[in-house]
A and B are shown apart, each in its own frame.
Chain A
Amino acid sequence: MGAVSLKRNDSSSVLTVFPESLPETVRAVISSYPHLVGITATHVANSIELIYSFDNWKGEMKHLLVSLPEKGAAVESISSQIRGAYIYEMEIRDMFGVSFIGHPLPNAKLLLPESYPQGAPPPLLKTVSLEQLMQILNEVQMQEPPSSVIPITGSSRYSVESIVILPFGPYHPALKEPEHFAIALEGEKIVEARPRIGYVHRGIEKLAETRSFLQTLFLVERVCGICSFHHSWTYTLAVENLLGISPNKKAEFLRTLVAELERIHSHSLWIGLLGYWVGFDSMFMWLWSARERIMKLLEMIAGNRVNKSFITIGGVRYDVSDEKLKVVKREISEFEKEFRRITEEVMSYGPLEERTRGIGIYHADTAISSGAVGPVLRATGVPYDIRKVEPYGAYPEVSFDVVTGNRGDVLTIAEVRVKETFESIGIIQQLVEKMPSGNPVPSAFFMGTSKDGEAFARTEPPRGELYYYIRGKVGMRNPYRVKIRTPTLPNLVLASEAIKGYTLSDVPLILTMIDPCFSCEDRAIVYINRKEPFIVKLPRAAPQGIGLGCSL
Chain B
Amino acid sequence: MVAKKSVKTVFEAIESFFSRPETFPSEDTERAFTEVSRGIPVLIADKCIGCSLCALSCPAQAITMIPGGKRMLGNRQVEIKNPSFDYSKCIYCGLCAQVCRQNAIEMRKNVDPIIIIK
Contact = CB atoms under 8 A, between A and B. Distances in A.
Contact of B93 (A211, A299, A309): A309
A285 B23 CA distance: 7
Interface stretch (A172-180, A214-222, A503-511): A214-222
B94 interface: yes
Interface string A527-552: 00000000001101100000000000
B44 interface: no
Given A218-B93, A303-B94, A447 B56 contact: yes
A540 B36 contact: no
Interface string A292-305: 10001001100110
Contacts of B89: 537-538, 540
Contacts of B37: 299, 303-304
B91 interface: yes
Chain B contact residues: over half helix, strand or loop, or mixed?
A: loop
Q: Which among B59, B93, B95 has the greatest number of chain A C-beta atoms within 10 A? A: B59
Given A285-B22, A292-B26, A538 B61 contact: yes
A266 interface: no
Contacts of A519: none
B38 interface: yes
B92 A304 contact: yes
A313 B93 CA distance: 15
B42 interface: no
Interface size class of B (residues with CB under 8 A): 20 to 34
Given A286-B22, A299-B34, A304-B38, A445 B91 contact: no
A309 B91 CA distance: 10
Nearest to B56: A447
A50 to B, nearest CB: 30
B102 interface: no
Interface string A428-466: 000000000000000001010000000000000000000
Contacts of A217: 59
B33 to A, nearest CB: 10
A256 to B, nearest CB: 21
Nearest to B28: A296
B91 A307 contact: yes
Interface string B93-105: 1110011000000
Contact of A447 (B36, B38, B57): B57
Contacts of B38: 303-304
A218 B60 contact: yes
A289 B26 CA distance: 9
A299 B29 CA distance: 13
Contacts of B56: 447
A218 B23 contact: no
Nearest to B36: A300
Nearest to A537: B89
A363 interface: no
A537 B98 CA distance: 23
A126 B50 CA distance: 35
B23 A540 contact: no
Q: Which among B37, B91, B98 has the greatest number of chain A C-beta atoms within 10 A? A: B91
A489 to B, nearest CB: 25
Contacts of A299: 34, 36-37
Interface string A340-382: 0000000000000000000000000000000000000000000
B60 A289 contact: no
A317 interface: yes
Contacts of B61: 538
B60 A538 contact: yes
A285 B22 CA distance: 7
User: Which 3 A-B pairs rank lowest in CB-CB distance, beginning with the nearest?
Assistant: A303-B38, A218-B59, A215-B59
Given A215-B59, A218-B93, A538-B60, 18 more contacts: A212-B57, A214-B57, A217-B59, A218-B59, A218-B91, A285-B23, A289-B22, A292-B26, A296-B36, A299-B36, A303-B94, A304-B37, A304-B38, A307-B93, A317-B94, A445-B98, A538-B59, A538-B61
